[in-house]
Structure 1
């Protein structure tokens, strides 16, 4: 789940090089299921690990998947872990990677996983690997919402959550300063690849099946999965993928990545990598914050992230998927009905924007803007203009491009689509920011079975009043996620151009063919480009 930033908008968004698989580096894992079911011990190829009993699961918190990216390894690709002697105590969560100073916390020695294993023992369980969101500058595997114990228990699966480098440390292209650092702009992606490689090598020690790995992520984490799907042979890292609220076109272009790096470095008059190496973690975060001053809206929310670099990500995501880059991967994708309502948690005025303030509307469709608004308004009688505009923005940024990605993959493998519609019930008379819909991130407590909705207006009271119904919805979502991970079938029909079958997560649940089809079709003439919006002022 995202944490609040002290800017005008919240962070919104949160490729395979086989040489990075690190198989020869990590050693062979012990036989499948070697972790004792009751005493929470595992014998990996790196060394023995002591976990922590957590109800009916074992949790292993802070197991390293790569060497600390510190000292000479700062801004370098992840390196292998040095095996340890004795037993590693993995019983306390790590603080995560350095991030926005207004949030605090995090250390550069942060390349760790958290693992949850059902305590009943057994081997060859499906594996779910989670990549958190947070605009690639916030977030941590240790967020309580991402605790995988309930999901592991209910699904009889092994759940893994991953920390990866954020912000300037993980997503800044320094090849323009020194060719030896070319590709550093995707080091966060390289960290994720290293983590998935670690899973293949070591997860058998925790009872998981390295031949049945599903990666799932939300927002920025989902966008990273998109980038991996566009790589060469992603099926060598994972067999299935679940993309939650993160369409592939939000992967940056190479030109954008270079421009963002130029802007960031200029903010600190940085001309050499040595200058960056000499800075403390806090100084780097101050530089990052300085560079983002004056950057607002989507340019701020999507400042960092994976990019099409010609190597890890050879080309635009949806084009690559349509051409079959992920033909060996089964895919499930989805969005929330009111994604952009999330921004109102930080800036309530976003719910009151008139059509004239909708400046991110695509220029090629400018002559259709009013007509499209009228269609959306007709489908939402009585709602104020700001709500209608937010529905259009959700479709532009999330729903419609996600459906394009689903259609591209459906050419090759069965693909499944969902839409999360449940929200805290509206109360007449309350301000708009207290009556929010199915916003960005709201599905996560349900997916993990951790029904803490305190971060959402009236969320705690709603859970207290409707716990049985909401628990049932959460259980059904957990069952779908783990059923997909186990066998590639979540429990509803696959998505095709003819039916556009979509699972609606709400009370009651249902399957609809082509929901909001008249609105989706309005975007048919628009070809969503990869992300290349450079909206911040130049330094100088």
Structure 2
């Protein structure tokens, strides 16, 4: 989900005019003059000139697929065309269209990626490809928090991030309108796979090793990776995967995909693909907002997403992983200690949720709801009811499903689990929404090294007060992710069903074995079915 918004380009028209599109496309930019920087690369598509940034090279706004516009709208991504001359890859491009308070942002010609490399010469380095979150309808690779430069230098690795289609444009199944568009509800996932294909083919030109790729993602990006792990031969595109707060059960069922699409069509009076294709970008975003009917928080976060289509995603994620679909992929996965505190940033009443209003609690466990609450409450003496309910919600939505994925994969390949526990220190007397725990997304400013915590109450002040300690934590995390990408070992014991070894990320990182295992076991009888809205 959204963590930080950088200042958008001053004028969308100007940004479009300067877009680094393939030769022959609208807005294409070429140069036959001398490169202005020492950061250069030569791929089979053409030459690129990047920009030097504090000891690394950045290649920004590189097209990995053709623009998903015109005849390509609502179609799988098509290959990027070669360009003439030298592509000036010096500025990130706007992200894909999304509905923001400012009236919408992004452009449909958005299938670009950014590359940071410690240098483009010498031995090939491990490659780390990041997929951003945002409920499959927000965020972009240009967000300041996702700048991969610090991680590239700290990890001596090539770091890549990318944009993929969002919302209706990338995650709505149109097969019911026209069989020729069957599978279009996973086009956003196809975009991500196309970017990984591009990396596999071209990253050597930037100093990366195409045989040593790690894909890592958070929230929606992690759900995408979970879906990939359930596919056929994911090792074809990456050797290792890091799944951060995005368990596989959030992949939608086919029924959910059809139901969501049908609701979108009914809301907009859409009867054919042509009806939808006639809508402008702004109109598509308006329809998207109307179809969600004012949903917010967790409900909106799962409206869009990848779905089990029987081919790209053959079956339920954990079931497929347990059967060995990712038997050649090393996996690291984890969550934050207080995932659902994140929603208090938008609705403070979330942390006051009484047990009686906990309606997402699994119906099949209804007869033990009170007993489970009492168990959680006994482990948290003095904690308000809403806080206890949120501890249960965090386990239901993130922690326990994450451990199910880890357990399934641990039978096949080295698997590692972490939990991010650090949070802005609590202040006595403040409302619950001003005392957030280790909420969803909080690890990202540490993982990328920017330490921008302004989004969280008292975050900026805490960075000013605890800067050196937080920098050490960030450095350790970047080192662990890079070590995992380089050799498959992040620096703590493997997770097994017997040991449940877990790295706890706090000011003083530690390893705990089977943390809060009594609470985890309370969910043993629940199968966490794939999402069916």
Deviation of 1:101 after TM superposition, in Å, equals: 4.1
Per the alignment, residue 518 of structure 2 pairs with: 518
* Structure 1: distance between partners of 2:63 and 2:229: 25
Per the alignment, residue 118 of structure 2 pairs with: 118
Deviation of 1:134 after TM superposition, in Å, equals: 0.1
Deviation of 1:228 after TM superposition, in Å, equals: 0.4
* Structure 2: distance between partners of 1:468 and 1:313: 44
Under a length normalisation based on structure 2, what TM-score does the superposition of the two structures give?
A: 0.93
Are 1:77 and 2:76 counterparts? yes
* Structure 1: distance between partners of 2:395 and 2:60: 38
SS of equivalent residue, structure 1 residue 530: coil
SS of equivalent residue, structure 1 residue 85: coil
Deviation of 1:119 after TM superposition, in Å, equals: 3.0
Per the alignment, residue 65 of structure 2 pairs with: 66
Bigger relative CO (Cα 8 Å, ≥ 6 apart): 1
* Structure 2: distance between partners of 1:113 and 1:101: 22
- Distance 1:296-1:468 versus aligned 2 partners, 3 A rule: closer
* 1:333-391 alpha-carbon deviations (Å, 9 max, x no partner): 00000000000000000111110010000011111111111111111111100000000
Per the alignment, residue 12 of structure 2 pairs with: none
* Structure 1: distance between partners of 2:471 and 2:310: 45
Deviation of 1:431 after TM superposition, in Å, equals: 1.1
SS of equivalent residue, structure 1 residue 186: helix
* Structure 2: distance between partners of 1:120 and 1:79: 27
Deviation of 1:176 after TM superposition, in Å, equals: 0.2
SS of equivalent residue, structure 1 residue 115: strand
Deviation of 1:4 after TM superposition, in Å, equals: 9.4
Conserved? CA contact 1:101–1:285, under 8 Å: no
Deviation of 1:507 after TM superposition, in Å, equals: 1.7
* 1:404-442 alpha-carbon deviations (Å, 9 max, x no partner): 000000010110000000000001011111100000000
SS of equivalent residue, structure 1 residue 174: coil
Per the alignment, residue 53 of structure 2 pairs with: 54
* Structure 1: distance between partners of 2:4 and 2:77: 29
Deviation of 1:295 after TM superposition, in Å, equals: 3.5
Deviation of 1:332 after TM superposition, in Å, equals: 0.1
Conserved? CA contact 2:341–2:436, under 8 Å: yes
Deviation of 1:154 after TM superposition, in Å, equals: 0.5
Are 1:40 and 2:39 counterparts? yes
Per the alignment, residue 225 of structure 1 pairs with: 225
- Distance 1:220-1:426 versus aligned 2 partners, 3 A rule: same
Per the alignment, residue 326 of structure 2 pairs with: 326
Give the root-mean-square deviation of aligned CA atoms: 1.3
Matches within 5 A, 1:298-337: 298-337=298-337
Per the alignment, residue 146 of structure 1 pairs with: 146
Per the alignment, residue 169 of structure 1 pairs with: 169
Matches within 5 A, 1:377-526: 377-526=377-526
* Structure 2: distance between partners of 1:232 and 1:525: 29
Conserved? CA contact 2:75–2:184, under 8 Å: yes
SS of equivalent residue, structure 2 residue 78: coil
* Structure 2: distance between partners of 1:115 and 1:294: 37
Deviation of 1:299 after TM superposition, in Å, equals: 3.1
* Structure 1: distance between partners of 2:169 and 2:190: 12
* 1:106-147 alpha-carbon deviations (Å, 9 max, x no partner): 000000000001037323100000000000000100100000
Under a length normalisation based on structure 1, what TM-score does the superposition of the two structures give?
A: 0.92
SS of equivalent residue, structure 1 residue 128: strand
- Distance 1:63-1:215 versus aligned 2 partners, 3 A rule: same
* Structure 1: distance between partners of 2:222 and 2:233: 18
* Structure 1: distance between partners of 2:200 and 2:4: 35
Deviation of 1:294 after TM superposition, in Å, equals: 4.1
* Structure 2: distance between partners of 1:120 and 1:48: 13
Conserved? CA contact 1:3–1:138, under 8 Å: no
Deviation of 1:3 after TM superposition, in Å, equals: 5.9
SS of equivalent residue, structure 1 residue 424: coil
* Structure 2: distance between partners of 1:44 and 1:90: 13
SS of equivalent residue, structure 2 residue 193: helix
Per the alignment, residue 376 of structure 1 pairs with: 376
SS of equivalent residue, structure 1 residue 249: helix
Point out where structure 2 has 5 or more consecutive residues left out of the alignment: 6-34
SS of equivalent residue, structure 1 residue 367: helix
Conserved? CA contact 1:126–1:213, under 8 Å: yes
Conserved? CA contact 2:4–2:145, under 8 Å: no
Per the alignment, residue 263 of structure 2 pairs with: 263
Per the alignment, residue 9 of structure 2 pairs with: none
* Structure 2: distance between partners of 1:100 and 1:284: 10
Conserved? CA contact 1:132–1:218, under 8 Å: yes
* Structure 2: distance between partners of 1:512 and 1:294: 41
Per the alignment, residue 99 of structure 2 pairs with: 100
Point out where structure 1 has 5 or more consecutive residues left out of the alignment: 6-35, 534-540
SS of equivalent residue, structure 2 residue 489: coil
* Structure 1: distance between partners of 2:172 and 2:364: 31
SS of equivalent residue, structure 1 residue 310: coil
* Structure 1: distance between partners of 2:446 and 2:300: 28
